[in-house]
Amino acid sequence: MLLDDPRLPLISKGFLKATRGKDEFSFEEISEYTRIPLEDIPILLESLYRVAGVDNPCDLRSSRFKVFIFLAGSSSNLEDTASLLRWREFESFTSTILSHLGFDTVLGYRFSSSNRRWEIDVLGFREPIVVAVDCKHVRKGYSGMLSRSIRMHKARVEAFAHILRCSFHRIVDRWRVIRVVPIIVTLKRSVHTIVDGVPVVHISALRDFIDSALPILVFEGGLSVLEV
């Protein structure tokens, strides 16, 4: 088993590409994607599963995410790597980034408010800030979609603000002030940074934005922040 084989990042990409749109793959597909000789694929996959912590290769959903986390940690180009994510993996990776930055996170939060049903992809809680993230995986027609997405997300977050203290009292009970920030995270690069008070952030820049820019912008202005 070759746990330090320099081809492991490449085999990771091949595995993620081969399974991006389906729940099965062949060694031939991975060999075609990576240009690695077919006879080397089985042992390289076995090594990949080991270093990525894949316990059950038959559980493809879990395997894909663990392989992606391994690849993200060894890749210098997260923008290219993130393009291999499926929709739910994109949300899970966003949640993972927030968790590593000290946020308590909730995935796919559904709620009723203002006589409607709503869903927020990812919530992150770190006193005094709550980030409400809308993950945008769509690539085609992005420019026209962005303004609509921002309007819808702001309405979604305003509705959430009405029920936040009641629904998450165990987390925010001792918070004197809560500042709720809507954010759109995308897989497509955009010329926009903040649109109508809402940050539009590529997934590869999310960690730096949350860790460095967000606290300053929240307290100095420039963002659409709801105080609860």
**In a structure prediction context, what are the per-residue pLDDT tens digits for the chain, which is 228 residues long?**
566 788 999 999 999 999 998 989 999 999 999 999 999 999 999 999 999 999 999 899 899 999 999 999 887 778 788 889 998 999 999 999 999 999 999 999 999 987 899 999 999 999 999 999 999 876 555 566 788 899 999 999 999 999 999 999 999 999 999 999 999 999 877 656 888 999 999 998 999 999 999 999 998 887 889 999
Is 1 domain-assigned?
Answer: no
Q: Do 70 and 100 belong to one domain? A: no
The pTM is what? 0.88
Please count the other Cβ atoms lying within 10 Å of the Cβ belonging to residue 75.
17
For residue 46, give Cα distances in angstroms to 12, 15, 54, 65, 223: 11, 12, 9, 16, 47
DSSP per-residue letters across 47-103: HHHHHHT-S-TT-HHHHHHHHHHHHHHH-S-HHHHHTT--HHHHHHHHHHHHHHTT-
Sign of the alpha-carbon torsion through 86, 168, 110, 161 = negative
Range of the domain at 220: 87-227
The pLDDT value recorded for residue 191 is 53
Q: Do 222 and 157 belong to one domain? A: yes
Total number of domains in the chain: 2
Residue 227 sits at φ, ψ, to 5 deg, of: -95, 130
The pLDDT value recorded for residue 142 is 58
Is 2 domain-assigned?
Answer: no
Q: Do 93 and 44 belong to one domain? A: no
b/e 155-194 (16+ beta carbons within 10 angstroms → b)? ebbbbbbeebeeebeebbeebeebbbbbbbbbbbeeebee
* Helices and strands of the chain, counted as H and E runs: 10, 7
CA distance 42 to 25: 12
Q: Do 97 and 120 belong to one domain? A: yes
Amino acid at 53: G
Is 56 domain-assigned?
Answer: yes
Q: Do 58 and 158 belong to one domain? A: no
Of the residues 48, 76, 104, which one is the last residue of a structural domain?
76
CA distance 61 to 86: 10
Amino acid at 69: I
Q: Do 99 and 64 belong to one domain? A: no
